[in-house]
Structure 1
Amino acid sequence: MENIALIESFSEFKDDKLIDRVTLMAILEDVFRNALKKKYGEDDNFDIIVNPDKGDLEIWRNRIVVADGEVEDSNREISLAQARKIEPDFEVGEDVSEEVKLVDLGRRAILALRQNLISKIHEHDNTNIYKQFKDLEGEIYTAEVHHIRHRAIILLDDEGNEIVLPKDRQIPSDFFRKGENVRGIIESVELKGNKPTIIMSRTAPGFLEKLFEQEIPEVFDGLITIKKVVRVPGEKAKVAVDSYDDRIDPVGACVGMKGSRIHSIVRELGNENIDVINFTNNEQLFITRALSPAKITSIKMDEEAKTAEVMLKPEEVSKAIGRGGHNIRLAGQLTGYEIDVYREGVEEDVELKEFTDEIEDWVIAEFSKIGLDTAKAVLEQDVNDLVRRTDLEEETIKDVMAVLRSEFEE
């Protein structure tokens, strides 16, 4: 292989990977110096001249002329007779520069050199990809579905970069087909064996926050600030918003007339129910707003323990707890308080765990999953509604209610 042919083969990678001239020269020199070390044992007496623009490369070996028969290091020294074959007027003690052709390295060395060259280019490319996506962490990104696996979807962007969307970062209702565009945030980027692993997420709270920035101009412009986002992906989310401009209604601006502004966000998230709440430093008022749509009668707070006992009318309790307990759980995450709900006017109640002699633990656990931890909380519910909200049979629910009811009968 001639020098120029190797450079031409390299130019293919240069065009594909957009490697700048300085980097190209550094990679080439590094690759050739490694080849020279293997061939001659050292490389510091070689000059390598790379001209990627013209597509040529020169390697020169520098040696000192010594008297015939006195050569001790053939890499650094050359006999007078050999030197005069290069130039007839050389004398002992002078420096000789002799060009080394690639063919002098041997066929195996040339093949190894080319492989090393390809490896170095890919390594450089992977480093650039890593840096590029590391800067994009937390930002929205769009890529196309390339391959659907059981535990993840493999996406490709316009530049052919591979992005992984794991199953646990997908919204439960997500369903994608090959060739379809997918939006999410770049959650993390790691280098594994010199290859970057790029993870996308659609379940992270940051994805919802970035969607607000994209879809609501006042958020993008900084007129409205998103203070905190909490989510049960695909089910429910709560977003606390604030504005430093008293003329702006942050909730109204985010939701829009009849929900017009937030509609596209809800649709992107698989019809996730999004509550937008006015942020306030008044923690009692913030808890009241966070438990919306329930109307609270009173709150007893312990600011040190970060607990809040909330009193509500019986008909408001199910609203405060929400389907699957999502509303009260998200309100707690949003405010940083552990919130307990109490029914107004109910002085006596019994926790379900007190009935373990008569009700099986797994049945009690089913009620706890939807936020029902006391006897009266269960008795206030409609049987058909409980069948729909739990994995319990109607007959089982009626038997439980009979046991609980007997506790309060005279």
Structure 2
Amino acid sequence: MENIALIESFSEFKDDKLIDRVTLMAILEDVFRSALKKKYGEDDNFDIIVNPDKGDLEIWRNRVVVADGEVEDPNQEISLTEARKIEPDFEVGEDVSEEVKLVDLGRRAILALRQNLISKIHEHDNTNIFKHFKELEGEIYTAEVHHIRHRAIILLDDEGNEIVLPKDRQIPSDFFRKGDNVKGIIESVELKGNKPTIILSRTAPVFLEKLFEQEIPEVFDGLITIQNVVRVPGEKAKVAVDTYDDRIDPVGACVGMKGSRIHSIVRELGNENIDVINFTNNDQLYITRALSPAKITSIKLDEENKTAEVMLKPEEVSKAIGRGGHNIRLAGQLTGYEIDVFREGVEEDVELKEFSDEIEDWVIKEFSRVGLDTAKSVLEQDLEDLIRITDLEEETIKEVLKVLNEEFEE
């Protein structure tokens, strides 16, 4: 009974853990073998008998009887006199099995056993949690805000598992309070030490893809497939969809009547503007669709270098570029082409890089980043728009406009 009482005291904290009694007893055996090895130097001559149904555990030490005065290894051998104290009819050369009571290990050893057991159970729990969440990578998960830090939000799920939502995985417009439910994608799961670190993301393109699966039955059922997703989180996204069923309009099915189907996705992503376009293997048509809502006059492709020169009417240029250059940048990411915009009917124009002796390279690169590669493409924009879509100071932009205007005045 001594063993049972001690084991029950060891296992009293298992009730709030996801561990069954059989697993607990296996961990107990491992822990006790470690203790025996520490006390006796080895454990191979010990039998540990576990009875998970009763919650009992017995330890038996096996030794060989030797003549009195000839004991060389007290752990492996027992003198005849000591053996006959156990049973009076033992003879030299026979095997003796003697039960080891846990209390015989001493108070300090029992405390160490308990600490080792707790550590092993935590390790078991952490391994199970790691495996569970590793299988959920790339899936949508919801948890509650527990603590808000400067660089991350700490979430807890219904099982009390800690999940981290880093600042750079949050949509810029996200604002959460303690107790709020947060939805995201399980982006990564790693073991740091013995503790699993679970990272949630709301900015990953796959989060948008999974929201489509969740909200649009045809996507969930596989009737509509998502070919590619690109995003500027919280600002704009483009989703290319396709179907093998000619009777289905994939764009219409995803958007819904008056945007009814996509509305909940837009709201979840902080009013992110989502363009849904039909995928095609025709690169020219694909780029045309990707630059929507701009209407394109013509396209010249270089398939080898993956570049596209797009001709538009002047009034369509700003639509193609989009606010902050998001539209043209996302179109390039979606199609895999580097897209350059040219204005139809503008015969006299000069590329910005021709002004490198008067305008610094980093300034030219910033204009190019938002799709403004020529002098007239810059001059056609209002000063306020240039300030808004670039990361340049007003004085810098004014100086550039002065240089460009002087070129055309000549």
TM-score clears 0.5: yes
Measured at CA, do residues 43 and 337 of structure 1 come closer, stay the same or move farther in structure 2, by a change above 3 Å?
same
Q: Secondary structure at the match of 2:274?
A: strand
Residues 204-254 of structure 1 deviation map (CA, whole Å, 9 limit, x = unaligned) = 000000000001111001110000000111111000000111111000000
For residues 394 and 161 of structure 2, the distance between their equivalents in structure 1, rounded to whole angstroms, comes to 52
How far does residue 200 in structure 1 lie from its aligned partner after superposition?
A: 0.8
How far does residue 364 in structure 1 lie from its aligned partner after superposition?
A: 4.4
For residues 65 and 393 of structure 2, the distance between their equivalents in structure 1, rounded to whole angstroms, comes to 99
Q: Secondary structure at the match of 2:59?
A: strand
Q: Secondary structure at the match of 1:280?
A: coil
For residues 46 and 375 of structure 1, the distance between their equivalents in structure 2, rounded to whole angstroms, comes to 87
Q: Which runs of 4+ in 1 moved over 6 A?
A: none
Equivalent pair of 2:80/2:91 in contact (CA under 8 Å):
yes
Q: Secondary structure at the match of 1:188?
A: strand
Measured at CA, do residues 391 and 325 of structure 1 come closer, stay the same or move farther in structure 2, by a change above 3 Å?
closer
Does residue 221 (structure 1) correspond to residue 212 (structure 2)? The answer is no
Residues 339-390 of structure 1 deviation map (CA, whole Å, 9 limit, x = unaligned) = 1111111122222343345445665455344322321011111233334434
For residues 44 and 112 of structure 1, the distance between their equivalents in structure 2, rounded to whole angstroms, comes to 21
TM-score by length of 1: 0.95
Equivalent pair of 1:352/1:364 in contact (CA under 8 Å):
yes
Measured at CA, do residues 158 and 82 of structure 1 come closer, stay the same or move farther in structure 2, by a change above 3 Å?
same
For residues 363 and 339 of structure 2, the distance between their equivalents in structure 1, rounded to whole angstroms, comes to 23
Equivalent pair of 1:7/1:52 in contact (CA under 8 Å):
no
Q: Secondary structure at the match of 1:253?
A: helix
For residues 4 and 206 of structure 1, the distance between their equivalents in structure 2, rounded to whole angstroms, comes to 52
The more displaced of 349-358 and 214-223 is: 349-358
Residues 99-139 of structure 1 deviation map (CA, whole Å, 9 limit, x = unaligned) = 10112111111111111111111111111111001100000
Residues 113-172 of structure 1 deviation map (CA, whole Å, 9 limit, x = unaligned) = 111111111111111111001100000001111111111111111111111111111111
Partner of 1:147: 147
Identity of aligned residues (%): 91
Q: Secondary structure at the match of 1:93?
A: coil
Alignment gaps of 5+ in structure 2: none
Partner of 2:352: 352
The more displaced of 222-231 and 66-75 is: 66-75
Q: Secondary structure at the match of 2:68?
A: coil
How far does residue 55 in structure 1 lie from its aligned partner after superposition?
A: 2.4
Give 1:329-348 correspondences, 5 Å limit. 329-348=329-348
For residues 182 and 250 of structure 2, the distance between their equivalents in structure 1, rounded to whole angstroms, comes to 29
Equivalent pair of 2:341/2:371 in contact (CA under 8 Å):
no
The more displaced of 28-37 and 48-57 is: 48-57
For residues 392 and 190 of structure 2, the distance between their equivalents in structure 1, rounded to whole angstroms, comes to 44
Alignment gaps of 5+ in structure 1: none
For residues 67 and 360 of structure 1, the distance between their equivalents in structure 2, rounded to whole angstroms, comes to 98
How far does residue 405 in structure 1 lie from its aligned partner after superposition?
A: 2.3
Give 1:384-395 correspondences, 5 Å limit. 384-390=384-390
Equivalent pair of 1:290/1:331 in contact (CA under 8 Å):
yes
Equivalent pair of 2:17/2:125 in contact (CA under 8 Å):
yes
How far does residue 35 in structure 1 lie from its aligned partner after superposition?
A: 0.3
Measured at CA, do residues 395 and 134 of structure 1 come closer, stay the same or move farther in structure 2, by a change above 3 Å?
closer
TM-score by length of 2: 0.95
Q: Secondary structure at the match of 1:71?
A: coil
Q: Secondary structure at the match of 2:378?
A: helix
The more displaced of 328-337 and 372-381 is: 372-381
For residues 330 and 402 of structure 1, the distance between their equivalents in structure 2, rounded to whole angstroms, comes to 31
Measured at CA, do residues 2 and 344 of structure 1 come closer, stay the same or move farther in structure 2, by a change above 3 Å?
same
Equivalent pair of 2:22/2:52 in contact (CA under 8 Å):
no
How far does residue 302 in structure 1 lie from its aligned partner after superposition?
A: 1.1
Q: Secondary structure at the match of 2:65?
A: strand
Equivalent pair of 2:171/2:203 in contact (CA under 8 Å):
yes
Aligned CA RMSD, in angstroms, stands at 1.9
Equivalent pair of 2:48/2:59 in contact (CA under 8 Å):
yes
For residues 130 and 226 of structure 2, the distance between their equivalents in structure 1, rounded to whole angstroms, comes to 29
How far does residue 95 in structure 1 lie from its aligned partner after superposition?
A: 1.5
Q: Secondary structure at the match of 2:60?
A: strand
Task: Give the total of aligned pairs.
Answer: 410
For residues 176 and 329 of structure 1, the distance between their equivalents in structure 2, rounded to whole angstroms, comes to 30
Equivalent pair of 2:325/2:389 in contact (CA under 8 Å):
no
How far does residue 293 in structure 1 lie from its aligned partner after superposition?
A: 0.5
The more displaced of 202-211 and 361-370 is: 361-370
Equivalent pair of 1:324/1:371 in contact (CA under 8 Å):
no
Q: Secondary structure at the match of 1:183?
A: strand
Q: Secondary structure at the match of 2:89?
A: coil
Equivalent pair of 2:64/2:76 in contact (CA under 8 Å):
yes
Q: Secondary structure at the match of 1:319?
A: helix
Equivalent pair of 1:166/1:199 in contact (CA under 8 Å):
yes
Measured at CA, do residues 10 and 105 of structure 1 come closer, stay the same or move farther in structure 2, by a change above 3 Å?
closer
